[in-house]
Amino acid sequence: MRARAVTGPLLEPGGLPPQLRDGRRLRRVAAALVVLCVGWLAAGSAHDHVTRPTIEVEQRAVDAARALPANGPAAGTFRREWRRHLPLAGELGGETYLAGTHVVVTSPDGLRAYDARTGENGWHYREPGRTLWGLAVTAGAVVVETHGDLGVRLVGLDAATGDRLWTSPDEWRLTHHGDDGSRTMGESADAADGIVAVEPGGEPERLGVDARTGEKRWATRLHRWSGDGCAPVDGSEDARADPDGEVLLAELCDATVLALDAATGDALWSRPLSPTGTEPVTSGGVVVLETGGSRAMNWEDGLPTLLGRNGRRLFRLEPGTSCLPCRPLSAAGRVVLPYDDEHGRSRLAVVDPRDGRVWSGLAAPGGDPAGDPAYVSDSTRLYALRPTLDGTGQLLPAGLSVFDVRANEWHLAPLPYSMLPARAGQPAPRSPALVGAAGGRLFAVATPPRDVPDARLELTSYASTGTREPTELGGVPARDWPDACALLRGIRLEDWESRTDEPDPPLRIGGNTVARPGCGRGETEVRVLWVAATAREADALLDGAASDVGADEEFTAGLLSSRRIVRVGRTIVLVRDYEERESTTRAVVREFRR
């Protein structure tokens, strides 16, 4: 990848016209314009001693790479393709987005892009002295909003190269959930089908701006939708609305939400809002009003509801269920809403906005994803990550749930990532969050606790190496797992310790059952944490050190002195001896070597 340093003032106003934005001609024309601007400023200064303020830019551009295919990986056996450790930049830093051929990481003063195929440094962009406030990603462009002494500006960047495409002529602002004032960490601003929603200031208005050229595609006056002053409207529907197409939202005085056709800016429907609710969200032309018992109460009895482009209800959650946050995703022409049932278990509702069909109550395989799973989607699938494969912490790898939207089928696979702390005395890392899926790859980011010295953001790319059955166990049959009680045969016990084996209950993952994953005898416990297909795969999962008890690898960082995790070949086990006898772990390792 060839880099091109671009440093200088931001051309004001409006950037370059589209017909001049190409290759060498662009650079020649840009250089000529800079010379002309400098000459004009010098002449103006000599005449009236007034200089025009400019916004300084530090920028690195790269040559465009081949686009990534839209599909992420299928469920199978995963390997880590690359990993980067990046310094955290302030409390607001570290938001991560998949944008074309790059993974973009933000900080308060700018953004850096990393090649999605290799993890190598890509382009970067910053405006010294100014703050990055928000960004939108659509149609191969990244539109950033910056704030500073010289006001608010939007800048359009090419997601593939980092080249500057355009700058806003006025103080345009991005919107989030239809509101120019709200700002949700880690969420992209409102954009769809290459159009970015912009609040221009002054009169209540929304602009639809082409993300690649900065040109206004449409403008919609909002005052006629705001009722009497800022009173909420009664609501409306448009039965003629085409079910295909994206929707952008506009909030009016925290009282009304207006659905706009992303392509034309035409108003499709409106709904009253309550100030105690949270933001409406849209994906694939479907809008979710997350009510929490108060939003859209005049229409849907205060329950989270999916509305189509014509404003009519497609699906409503039942009493006792919830989606916090409510974040619909689109794939395969359908819209999927993750939610929790009345027992707190994760479920999916799938809606086809074209014919109104609904599939609800779809459960994840192998038990419920632990914690609050965050989903990402590619063109046909949804992905959800759980901290451990079994959801209870008995197994070492993280678990990846893959949902085929066309088939309404779940698949479960281990991911080569563990929640073990990096160093002794450090807390365990936070569960990684998925960033996106494309090009047969899955991208994840893990953020350590901020009180950890030299804390770094961990950015990782995973790819599937193919399917080996059973996929839930990484292609290793349950019969290949060792009997945990048999591993205790050689340990030495004190006279007062019990000689009776106490096996753990069988472990069930998907359709597989491991008969004896753990066992206790006396003051000693052994648990098999994982059996990989190869020693190399097991080594990639455990970041341990040289062993002094005969194992291939040993991990003790951050563990109690009574615990040791050892790897022997392709098997990883936890040995816990409450008497802290090193001989116990040696005896377990010897059983593997027989």
Per-residue tens of pLDDT for the chain, all 594 residues: 556 666 555 434 344 333 333 443 333 334 333 333 333 333 333 334 444 468 999 999 999 999 999 999 998 889 999 999 888 765 545 689 999 999 999 988 899 999 999 999 999 999 999 999 999 999 999 999 999 999 999 999 999 999 999 999 888 999 988 886 655 555 789 999 999 999 997 667 899 999 999 999 999 988 766 555 565 555 666 666 677 889 999 988 777 888 999 999 998 988 877 665 667 889 999 999 864 333 333 344 567 889 999 888 999 988 888 887 788 999 999 999 998 888 888 889 999 999 999 999 888 665 554 445 678 999 999 999 888 888 778 899 999 999 999 999 988 999 999 888 665 555 666 678 899 999 999 999 988 766 666 778 889 999 998 888 999 999 999 999 999 999 999 998 888 888 899 999 999 988 899 999 999 999 999 999 999 999 999 998 988 888 889 999 998 866 677 889 999 999 999 999 988 888 999 999 999 888
Query: What residues does 82 pair with on adjacent strands?
Result: 461
Cis check for the bond before 13: say yes or no (omega within 30 of 0). Answer: yes
Asked if residue 90 belongs to a domain, the reply is no
Strand partners, 509: 512
Residue 442: count other Cβ atoms within 10 Å of its Cβ.
Answer: 27
**557 within domain boundaries:** yes
Number of compact structural domains in the chain: 1
Q: Evaluate whether residue 589 is within a structural domain.
A: yes
Task: Determine the structural domain holding residue 588 and report its residue range.
Answer: 478-593
pLDDT score, position 37:
37
Q: State whether residue 205 is helix, strand or coil.
A: strand
Provide φ and ψ at 366, rounded to 5°: 65, 30
Cα gap 59→146, rounded to integer Å: 15
Question: What residue has token string 């455990």?
Answer: 542
Phi, psi of 298 (to 5 degrees): -75, -15
pLDDT recorded at residue 56: 94
* pLDDT reported for residue 148: 93
Torsion on CA atoms 93, 94, 98, 100, rounded to nearest 10? 60
Burial of 37 (0-12, 13-18, 19+ CB in 10 A): middle
Residue type at 291?
A: T
Residue 154's DSSP bridge partners are: 145
Q: Cβ of 207: how many Cβ atoms within 10 Å?
A: 20
How far apart are alpha carbons 42 and 578 in whole angstroms? 79
Cα-based distances in Å from 502 to 123, 130, 440: 57, 63, 44
CB 151 within 8 A of CB 137: no
Q: What is the 3-state secondary structure (H, E, C) of 76-132?
A: CCEEEEEEEEEECCCCCCCCEEEECCEEEEEECCEEEEEECCCCCEEEEEECCCCEE
- Contact between 551 and 562 (Cβ < 8 Å): no
Q: Give me 51's structure tokens.
A: 């200089």
- Amino acid letter at 527? R
Q: Is residue 343 part of a domain?
A: no
Of residues 116, 90, 187, the one with CA closest to residue 460: 116
- With respect to residue 101, please indicate whether it lies within any of the assigned structural domains: no
519 lies in a domain?
Answer: yes
Nearest-angstrom CA–CA distance, 238 and 77:
47
What is the token pair recorded at 285?
Answer: 């032309």
**Rounded CA separation 503/485 (Å):** 7
In a domain, 506, yes or no: yes
Amino acid in position 254: D
Residues in the chain, how many? 594
